[in-house]
Structure 1
Amino acid sequence: MSQNEKSQTPHGERDPAAENTQQPDIEGIQDGSEDYVDAGGASADSLAETEQLQGELDQARAEADQYRDQAVRAMAEMENVRKRAQRDVESARKFALEKFAADLLGVRDSLELGLKAAEEHSGDYEKLKEGMDMTARMLASSMDKAGVEAIDPEGEAFNPELHEAVSTQPSNELPANTVAAVMQKGYMLNGRVLRAAMVVVAKPADQGK
């Protein structure tokens, strides 16, 4: 039906109202459908991009969880190592003298046997001296094994790092500042002074006159 036919009345007259009614733009509707298709394509791209970002986020979260678990395990292992080291240090401090103490047991046994022999053989000084000599040798051997060295500097030059002068003695035979006598031996442990030797130091005989 043409536009003129639509605007005519049943009696063949023209209808001005029908002529003024705006007709739909068929061409415009067709163009709009193309725009709708383009919008749908853009929405699909956005959805794909969102899914990709979500996947990357999930992967990042999984990696973060993995690294956090590794960090927790590492911290736990470090704590275990610290505790083991602490136990080792405590054990070393408690039992550092274990070997030396075991050697001293023989020395103590010898002393006790010597005392018992002295009681049973009153006046037998030779046997008592023999037992004491044996005990002294055992003790010296145990101390040597432990790195304990005696300082017995008689006749040597006075060394204030190793010797403690308790008095002086005039002497024409010994050079000045020479150890004339040892009142008490000193001892060193692996090169470190445990106790300085107490000594008498020689001085010229005419000094002070």
Structure 2
Amino acid sequence: MSVKQADSGTSAGSKGKARSPDAKQAQNGEKPADEPAVDETAPDASETGQAAGHRVEQAKDTPEDTPADTPQDDEDLAAALVEAREQVQEMKDGFLRAQAEMENVRRRSQKEIQAARKYAIEVFAQELLPVKDSMEQATQVELDDAVGEAVTRMKEGLELTLKQLETVLAKFSVVEVEAGPGVKFNPDHHQAVSMVASEDIPPDHIISVMQKGFLLKDRLLRPAMVVVAS
């Protein structure tokens, strides 16, 4: 072997053996000395941002200190409460009045309906009364023996018709007002045509009846025309 080959082999071996300290550390699993050491216990940047945001939200949620109520505020609240109570009472009173008025209207309507049914024939009965008067006057005529049989039968027929009319009127509660000699004068049912002194009839009592009066149930259709003792 020549000298040059020996030298070259020696140089190569020297280069292979001569390694840097960093290479040795890397080979042994150690970090190079010039790299800065990382603190694994230090908080991450993202975690630090989240914590800061949480503190900001807590600061927003924390209510600010409100000033204490002043005596003027208490007085205003008390006045508003009194006013509200008065308004409620007024509305309650108004409701009760309206309810009472509605009840009165309902009762009046019922009475009017009942009265309309009860006195439905009032006008018709009033129109029949003069007919009854005329028939009564006709039956009171005295017939002498000179009249013929036809006139006598006509009068008998008129009397029968009058009785039928009285029956129909009584069926519908049309009755005569009590009036006659000696009956006490009643201004609700009687109308005094005149007042005459009488020795037989006491004062304020009826002496005679000029025209009969009639009632429809408890309602006066026509007062009795009477002469009263003074």
Structures share fold, TM-score greater than 0.5: no
Larger radius of gyration: 2
Report the structure, 1 or 2, having the larger strand content.
1
TM-score by length of 2: 0.38
TM-score by length of 1: 0.42
